[in-house]
Amino acid sequence: MAAPTSPPPKTGAPSPSGPSSGVRPEAARTRPEAARTRPGGARTRRRTLLAVAAAVVLAGAGVAATSAGIGPLGDGGGGGGGRDDGGPGTSSDVPDAYVGTWVGAVQRDGKPNGQHRRFVITRGEEGEVVATSVSLGDDYECKSDGTLAQAPSSAADEAGLRLDTRVVKSVPSGRCAAIGEHTLVAGPGGVLKWRAAGRTATLHKVTTPERMPEALTGLWRRPLAGGGSQTLTVRATAPQDGGGLTLVSDGREHCEAGMDVFFAGNEAEPARVAPPEVDRTASRGTCATGAASTLRPQGEVLLRRFPDGRVLRYQRAS
């Protein structure tokens, strides 16, 4: 793959009371998403011809078918998804063992690099969008659609499932580029082994419905070092719904931003959220961006922890 793209200048100086505003892009290679001939192409064409023939028969029978980690923000510093899962009866090239939501920590050269990867894989056929992917770094979020480039013949096929991806959302804007082909292989113990552009991850299936826990939802507030306050609103949102959190800082600046939920958390792991995306039309001032963070309730206090170890404490306001 190509070397990482060089990040543009930082958007505002960080405040001493919050994380750095520097943003590191995901290492990526920009490559055309043009269709390529795959070994499964003949099989797809045969399926298409059969489907057309079936449609003709039905018609003849008269059957109708129907950011910005807002740690420093306001502290005084100056996604399309895959198609619907039609259920086990849906015609699909994707084995059932791959269908679902998968998350895991990313490694490079066998060492954790601070990134996390999320896939939502649905049923579908070669050439169709069957997956959405989120890459979460310390200070960026990249959302992509995944088109099925080649399907495994079965869940036991070690060639795995191959996806071509296209970036559909970048936070901060312009920081993400497609890294080309992704390979996922069903492994023992109900995991998926993912690899792309020199990165790997063991992805574990999310087996329970995802929604931000009640202990986290509500309105939270903390004072800003330069005067004023910052409010954090957490809604009972599932990660696939997008959004879910709102940050508003009122002090020397007025800054508003939203954050996506990457992982809603469980008893063992905290909720994980993307860097805030500043609403520049509703904000006044520099509104320096920050990093991704985790959220953990502690009684009437919410702890927001950043990759560099800093923690912001919010008191429940409602």
Whether the per-residue pLDDT at 72 is higher than 60: the answer is no
What pLDDT digit, counting tens, does each position of 136-181 carry? 999 999 999 999 999 998 878 888 999 999 999 999 999 999 888 9
* pLDDT at residue 64, rounded to an integer: 29
- Tell me what the mean pLDDT of segment 192-220 comes to: 93
Give the residue with greater pLDDT, 171 vs 48.
171
Q: Is the pLDDT of residue 292 over 90?
A: yes
Instruction: Give the pLDDT confidence score for residue 135 in this predicted structure.
Output: 96
* Mean pLDDT value across residues 216-224: 97
Query: What is the third-level CATH fold of 96-205?
Result: Lipocalin (2.40.128)
**pLDDT value at residue 304:** 98
| Averaged confidence pLDDT in the chain | 77
Express each pLDDT in 269-279 by its tens digit: 999 999 999 99
Domain extent listing, the chain: 96-205, 218-316
Q: What is the pLDDT of residues 91-112, one digit of tens each?
A: 899 999 999 999 999 999 889 9
- Indicate if the pLDDT at residue 65 is higher than 50: no
Q: In angstroms, rounded to a whole number, what is the distance separating the alpha carbons of residues 246 and 86?
A: 33
- Produce one character per residue of 161-194: b if its CB has 16 or more CB atoms within 10 Å, e if not: bbbbbebebbbbeebbbbbbbbbbbbeeeebbbb
